[in-house]
Amino acid sequence: MPLASRPSDNARSGVRLCPAGLDLGEGEILPLRAGAMHYFRHPPSDWGPALDAIASIGLRLVDVYVPWGTHEVEAGRFDFGEKNPRLDVARFLRMAAERGLKAVLRPGPHINAELTYFGLPERIVWDKDCQARTPQNHPVMLPMAPLAFPVPSYASNVFHDETARWYEAMAKVLAPLCHPRGPIVLVQVDNEGALYFRDGPYDQDYHEDAIRLFREFVRAKYETPRALLEAWGEAARREEPGLAFSRILPPKSFDAETADDLPRHIDWMEFHEHLLGQAMLRFATCLRRLGFDGVPTMHNFPIGEVATPLNAARMNGAIDLVALDYYHHATPGEHLTILRRTTELAARSEGSGVPAYGAEVGAGFPPFFAPMDEADSLYTLLAALAYGLRGYCLYMAVDRDRWIGAPIDPHGHRRPFSDAYEALSRTLEATRFHELRRPAPVRLVVPRSLRRLARATHAFGPLTPALFNILGAGFRESCLEDDLGWGTPPTLVGEAYIRAFERALTARGVPFAYAGGESLETSLKGAAWIVCVLSGGVKPQILTQLRAAQDRGVKVTVGPQVPDRDGSMRRMRLPHDVTGLEIEPLDDATRAYALVARRMEELGLPSYTVDPADAYLTVHEDDAGTPRVAFLMNPTPLETVAKVAIPRAVALVDVLPLRRSAGRASYPDARIRRVAGSFDVPAAPRTVRMFAIET
């Protein structure tokens, strides 16, 4: 079971993750509302005013990066304020505690933070033994402003040894400040671990330590050379005639000509996930041994995470809380991305008993991003809350160099649009929003095998698959069109299948959530109907879990057809067992609408409809199942009046008056009554309205 699916074991300090946030003991629940500030970028005279401003807008924690490369003055020697007052991070954290703020500590080794070398020491990135390697054994270069640099290998033992020395120096100063002795209540393990954004399927890592780990991974999976030969076939003979696990090599490019050539490539995709999981385990184990064993651990996935090797289920033994980063624009296309990412996070988090957390929710943007304005930032945060986010960190809360726009300026003065964040904090407290949940009785399941196949067949070489995902492109736009003997590429078939159900459920107003295959066990809580796409191949364990859900009374639909291959794309000797599961070929996309209508009648699925179709509605309930909060989202550039239907609701009360940089937007009524079974709700362009529901 993924570690994120069980409560964190932090009895010594009393800090435990819970669905509403952090349980600090003695009945104190801390909602995860944080704001990021980089102490090392500000003179200490600005620390106090900035921390006061963070607290004044209703944030409860300060998010603190601790950059290795900034604190290291020479190899193995560090400055934590002894010479440079800006580096006295312990003093900064004590000042935060004096103001009632708790802290999220993020000590790397990778922090990014728009720092040169992503916060790593220059000597580390230029150390050949630390560097990730290309198939040609060159350093893996990241073309990032202000200059390109070689990225470390997550497998390099030298890099892990150097990181351990950094952790030890940092822990001597900061581990004593863990709760209850200090403000630290959550510690991050590394940062955005998608192979430093060089996560193309054949970009890396061919470091000798990574090759060694790959061979161990393959040995554990196949156990005998004969089993490896059966899986890899002729590709195995060409690569290593003797089939010795100690000599096999990973593929260096996509060279599959038929589906039978795929297992070797899919194993390489799966290995990337294993590599990152093992690295996080090594980092986390080191931190716990150095005194951070009393607080939960966290890791944040960057935007586009579903197209990377990051896999929450592979963080087993390392990470208590897997969070997401959010940097999106208020557009219809990016709205759907927020929906898909957040519902998958929320379903997994709810089943795990932890809060769905946005570790970085953009407030402003780095100068190399496409420009974002205040409406983008507020829309993204509110839409993510609408789809199930229960905690967030404003990144950045306090402005600094290499950043454009934040609600608090570098000297701690609040900018006008900080009022919107303060109003949101008050509203979330007043509605006890962190204690509510958005029921989603339908799950749309995308097996990990399909995502691995999409990575392996990525068509654009050095351009990361994540970039296409960030831009809203799907498998159709980013994957090779070669069908490898299937007739139609499984990635395209699978995506069309799941999107047909997404459209049908949205049209009927039925709440749904996405679920990832390897996190299935912790992502099905509250499900009444599961739709799982089967295309190309699937692990038998997925079908076992689906049959178990069916035995519990959950309706399960799979399709468009049952594949004859497993999750590694190996041909099955015996057919997959789909006993009792409904197989829906969906040869006509309109059938999805008919099937949704039938399920609504059979299962009594809730329906919250909204017209026009390019507006969106979500409803959140309390523990008794009473609807308490609703969100109406308009991602379009046009003002609209939406007709909204919420059964049992008699009135909607506007609890979050909208603020924009040009002033306050007003609506005719702060309290909207139901007329003829529905509500007429005005919605300004690119905005989210939040209502308390009267029943």
Token readout for 588 is: 């006509």
Residues 153, 205: Cα–Cα separation, whole Å: 7
Q: How many CB atoms lie within 10 A of CB 127?
A: 16
Specify the pLDDT at position 238: 62
Nearest CA among 132, 126, 129, 130 for reference residue 149: 126
Any domain includes 474: yes
In 3D space, the residue among 249, 147, 250 whose CA is nearest the CA of residue 201 turns out to be 250
User: Closest Cα partner for 578 from 515, 517, 532?
Assistant: 532
Same domain membership, residue 126 and residue 21 = yes
Q: Which pLDDT score is estimated for 638?
A: 96
The reply to whether 331 falls in a domain is yes
pLDDT of residue 72: 98
Which residue stretches of the chain have pLDDT < 70? 1-13, 235-243, 658-666, 668
208: helix, coil or strand? Answer: helix
Residue 409: CATH number of its domain: 3.20.20.80
* Residue carrying the six token digits 């999409």: 454
Are 341 and 193 within one domain?
yes
569 and 490 in a single domain? The answer is yes
pLDDT in the model for residue 666: 64
Cis peptide before 396 (omega within 30 of 0): yes
CATH number at residue 630: 2.60.40.1180
Cα–Cα distances in Å, from 443 out to 271, 502, 555, 632? 27, 10, 11, 22
In a domain, 12, yes or no: yes
Query: What pLDDT, on the 0 to 100 scale, is given for residue 660?
Result: 43
566 and 634 co-located in one domain? no
- C-alpha to C-alpha distance for 471 and 473, rounded to whole angstroms: 6
Q: Classify residue 280: in a domain, yes or no.
A: no
The pLDDT tens digits for 624-662 are 999 999 999 999 999 999 999 999 999 999 999 764 433
Domain that holds residue 265: 208-269
Q: How many CA atoms lie within 13 A of 623 on its CB side?
A: 5
DSSP state of 425: H
Q: Look at residue 278 and tell me if it is in a domain.
A: no
> pLDDT tens digits for 222-231?
999 889 988 9
Q: What pLDDT shows up at residue 11?
A: 40
Asked if residue 177 and residue 61 are part of one domain, the reply reads yes
Among 685, 670, 621, 624, CA closest to 649: 621
Domains: count for the chain: 4
At 658 the pLDDT is 62
Q: Does residue 81 sit in the same domain as residue 108?
A: yes
Q: Of 603, 637, 665, which one is at a domain's C-terminal end?
A: 603
3 state DSSP class of 62: strand
Q: Do 134 and 69 belong together in one domain?
A: yes
Residues 243 and 346 placed together within one structural domain of the fold: no
* Structure confidence at residue 2 (pLDDT): 35
Rounded CA separation 341/324 (Å):
8
Q: Check: CB of residue 456 under 8 Å from CB of residue 266.
A: yes
Angle at alpha carbon of residue 375, lines to 372 and 379, rounded to 5°: 105
> Same domain, yes or no, for 341 and 472?
no
pLDDT at 481 (0 to 100): 87
Same domain flag for 99 and 192: yes
Task: Determine, yes or no, domain membership for 281.
Answer: no
pTM of the complete model: 0.96
Query: What pLDDT does 250 receive?
Result: 95
Reference 232, options 204, 262, 207, 210; nearest CA is 262
Within a domain: 276: no
- The DSSP result for 8-37, as a single string, is ---TTTT-EEETTEEE-STT-EE--EEEE-
Q: Among all chains, which residue has been given the structure tokens 């190899």?
A: 75
CB crowding 381-420: b at 16 or more within 10 Å, else e = bbbbbbbbbbbbbbbbbbbbeebebbbbbbebebeebbeb
Same domain membership, residue 181 and residue 99: yes
Q: Do 110 and 46 belong to one domain?
A: yes
**How much is the pLDDT for 587?**
86
CB contact at 8 A, 685 and 638: yes
What is the DSSP pairing of strand 687-694 with strand 651-654? antiparallel
The alpha carbon torsion through 494, 497, 502, 504 (nearest 10 deg) reads: 180
Buried b (16+ CB within 10 A) or exposed e, 529-545: bbbbbbbbbbbeebbeb
Q: Given 603, 633, 652, which residue is the final one in a domain? A: 603
The domain boundary, picked from 435, 465, 486, lies at 435
Residue 283 falls within a domain, yes or no? no
